[in-house]
Structure 1
Amino acid sequence: MTAMWRSGWQTRVADALLALVLLGFGLLATGLAGDNQPGSRQVDTVCRLLIAVAALALCVRRRVPVVTLAVVTVATSTYLLIGYPYGPVLLAFLVAVYSVAVRLPVRPAALAAGAAFVLLLAHVFFSRGPAPGWTGVLPASAWVVVPFAVGVVVRVTREAAARTRVEQARDRAEQARRQADEERLRIAQEVHDVVGHGLAAISMQADIALHLLPKRPEQAEVALTAISRTSREALDELRVTLGAVRRGAERGPVPGLARLPALRDRLAGAGLTVEVRVVGDPRELPAAVDLAAYRVVQEALTNVLRHAGVARAEVTVGYRPDEVTVEVTDRGAGATRAGLDPADDESGHGLAGMRERVTALGGRLTAGPPPDGGFRVYACLPVGSAP
């Protein structure tokens, strides 16, 4: 509200200053113009009064442009009909026509300007001073056509600029919405990967503990210890993830392929033996690629733990000059694991989440039972094009 009031005050001051400038110029220059126009009427009090009316009417040209144009036109036409010299009074008329054209839609502005033009033409034929006749129609029309055309162009330009600003604001809002959706999806995937893997390991270890407790309670203690360690690690990682979300910042150290030994050890406590092989020379990867590769391995091994019904899986990490590959294979019930976890896929996680992670970085992912049985998840991530 304060900004609008300040803007309105500034425009009123600007219009008042313009009116005073034209008034001063008209009072000073009209006499000089009359010296160069033989036959025109001498400047007198009425002349000065008409100049003052035409100039001062511009003080309200933005608020009531049609009224301003009417007052200026009547004053200017009366001035010219009496025979006073052509001069600065026409500048006020020019500004009034421009104001109508720039403030009103084209049709009502054209009607107002046309009426002003007809009234202005009266002096061409009926002036007490020199009456130019038909030869004066074209010069008189220029005082209407030129400012009207300029005003229309300015109005159209302003409207186009306003539409552009609105469209840009809409695009920014849409982009912000898309970024928020992508961030929510990223957070959901992170939480799913952390919690899903932890719960799968805990579930398997709990089954082992329940099975061993009646017969070999000392071995059940090992499984319960693994449950405690796994739950603590999952909660710590979940706490870090949610803490970064609350701060609105990226996490500092993110999981990567360097954590595969810890993942292997954790799954070993859950009863799944994982053999990790590395092909090529290991090197530091872009954070996004490193995280995606780790999450693919983690999610694939979680699905082995949930669905394969086997106690062994193999992970192969391949480092190539321009890409890194990860492969997870097992000899479990691959043919019956269509879609891995249907509930996960329907909610956008599981296999679908892995594929989204990989394709977002320009890579590719394949998953399914190989010809010799079992199940295989393979992801290839470009290193050079990673953000």
Structure 2
Amino acid sequence: MPESRISRAKLRTDIILAVVFGLMALPFALLGNWADLVALLAFLTALSVRRLDPAWSLGIAWGAAVVQMAALRDLQFYDFAVLGVLYSTSAHGGRLLKWLGLASAVVGALIATVYLQVLMPLFEGFDVAGPHAWVIAAFLFVASSALLVLAWTAGLLARSVRDGREVRRREEAANRERELVEYRYGVEQERNRIARDMHDVVAHSLAVVIAQADGARFAAKTRPDAASEALSTISGVARGALGDVRVLLAELRHREGAAPQPVLDDLDGLIEGVVDAGLDVRLVETGERRELGTGHQIAVYRIVQEALTNALRHGDTAAPVDVRIAWADEAVALEISNRVAADAAGAGGGSAAGAVAVAAGSAPTAARHGITGMHERAQLVGGSLSAGPGTDGGFRVVANIPAQPRSDV
């Protein structure tokens, strides 16, 4: 692409160089006549605008050469300005102008040869058909064309170097942009993971604490021992939640991804804590347990945890919660079903849709990220999950997690 616009600094540099060249050529031009001064001025103008407008520069240079030949002037020092003009046509001109510059170099060498070897000798009365005239003419044409084409080639080389630098600069900019996008994506993924973990830890622990606190409040007068046991459970759950929150905050501060995460062996403790909170959980596990990768174990644990948390918060705590874990060679299937509380069903109009709305957190005081978090956890490990009303009017969570073995890498 041509340089259609250049900075003022570059234009000022070109003008200064043209003036310096003019001062060097001026003594030689003063030895001639008015045609030399006109040609010198024209060549200086061509040099001044060679990067601002290479096409005008080439045209002005040709005009100066015509004036010089019309006045039958011999080669002068200012003729070297043609080299700078040809350099600029290939270095800064467009595609058409670039090839016009090459054509001008070849045609100019031919015209200069004819002018110096034929026209000037004729006008000065010399013999143009000497024994060595054609040899001299051939040498002059080859030398002048080589010099002019060399100047044009130097401009083409400079253009290639400049274009290469521009391509590398754009590649580096694109690489930096891609790295920034990847970094932002990684940060966003990490934030989402920590947000899911925070929600799972806090929501589950608070649900247990609320259930135990309600039980302790009603049993405080009639069953002090039960109230004391409930308060002890609240204390233990709160301490555990506080420890988990501290781990998550440490991840936020230090960007460490190796913090302890729950595994399948922690399911028993999870269910035991929910049972202590007053929920009747019935666990049925079939098939031979397979070894899962860390991410898959976390997904199974968190899905069960969130489903039990929803059952504790929105379900009928007097009815049992069925947790079924079915192991197969290709996947592990999870099914958690519970009955929706009567007041929750009433809030939804007694319909299954109302049960879904309440369990999904559409109530103003309910968490809004539980069902979404379970879907995300299943999808991240290549599984699937569905949550909705069951056939008995309750709520049912069904998930399928691929049985991918642990990686030792």
TM-score range, shorter chain: 0.5 to 0.7
- Deviation sequence 1:234-291 (CA, Å, 0-9, x none): 1112212222332222134310221111111111121012122211111321000100
Report SS of the residue matched to 2:355. coil
Report SS of the residue matched to 1:259. helix
> In 1, Cα distance between the equivalents of 2:405 and 2:97?
57
- What's 1:349 paired with? 369
CA contact (8 A) 1:317 1:324 kept: yes
The alignment's TM-score, normalised by the length of structure 2, stands at: 0.64
The 1:343/1:143 distance shift into structure 2, 3 A limit, reads: farther
- Deviation sequence 1:45-79 (CA, Å, 0-9, x none): xxxxxxxxxxxxxxxxxxx9969x99xx9xxx9xx
CA contact (8 A) 1:358 1:381 kept: yes
CA contact (8 A) 2:340 2:355 kept: no
The 1:245/1:255 distance shift into structure 2, 3 A limit, reads: same
Report SS of the residue matched to 2:356. coil
- What's 2:336 paired with? 328
1:143 aligned onto 2:150: yes
The 1:348/1:143 distance shift into structure 2, 3 A limit, reads: farther
Letter in 2 for 1:342: S
> In 1, Cα distance between the equivalents of 2:88 and 2:229?
88
The 1:287/1:147 distance shift into structure 2, 3 A limit, reads: same
The 1:168/1:105 distance shift into structure 2, 3 A limit, reads: farther
- What's 1:338 paired with? 356
2:379 to 345, 349, 359: 359
- Structure 1 unmatched runs, 5+: 1-63, 84-88
Report SS of the residue matched to 1:254. coil
The 1:179/1:163 distance shift into structure 2, 3 A limit, reads: same
1:376 deviates by 0.9
- What pairs up with 1:166-315 in 2 under 5 angstroms? 166-311=173-318, 312-315=320-323
CA contact (8 A) 2:387 2:398 kept: yes
1:143 deviates by 2.9
> In 2, Cα distance between the equivalents of 1:347 and 1:167?
41
The 1:338/1:133 distance shift into structure 2, 3 A limit, reads: same
Percent of aligned pairs with the same amino acid: 32
The 1:375/1:386 distance shift into structure 2, 3 A limit, reads: farther
- Deviation sequence 1:214-248 (CA, Å, 0-9, x none): 32222211111111111111111221222233222
CA contact (8 A) 1:254 1:291 kept: yes
1:137 deviates by 10
The 1:124/1:381 distance shift into structure 2, 3 A limit, reads: farther
> In 2, Cα distance between the equivalents of 1:232 and 1:100?
78
- Structure 2 unmatched runs, 5+: 1-48, 66-73, 118-132, 346-351
Look at both structures and tell me which one has the larger radius of gyration over its CA atoms. 2
The 1:237/1:110 distance shift into structure 2, 3 A limit, reads: same
- What's 1:52 paired with? none
Letter in 2 for 1:250: G
* Alignment RMSD: 4.3
- What's 1:40 paired with? none
1:124 aligned onto 2:132: no
Q: Which moved more, 1:289-298 or 1:342-351?
A: 342-351
- What's 1:316 paired with? 324
Q: For this pair of structures, how many residues does the alignment match? A: 311
- What pairs up with 1:71-82 in 2 under 5 angstroms? none
Q: Which moved more, 1:133-142 or 1:327-336?
A: 133-142
> In 2, Cα distance between the equivalents of 1:182 and 1:65?
54
> In 1, Cα distance between the equivalents of 2:138 and 2:364?
89
CA contact (8 A) 2:90 2:159 kept: yes
CA contact (8 A) 1:113 1:148 kept: no
1:127 deviates by 4.5
Report SS of the residue matched to 2:392. coil
The alignment's TM-score, normalised by the length of structure 1, stands at: 0.67
Q: Which moved more, 1:325-334 or 1:173-182?
A: 325-334
Report SS of the residue matched to 1:314. strand
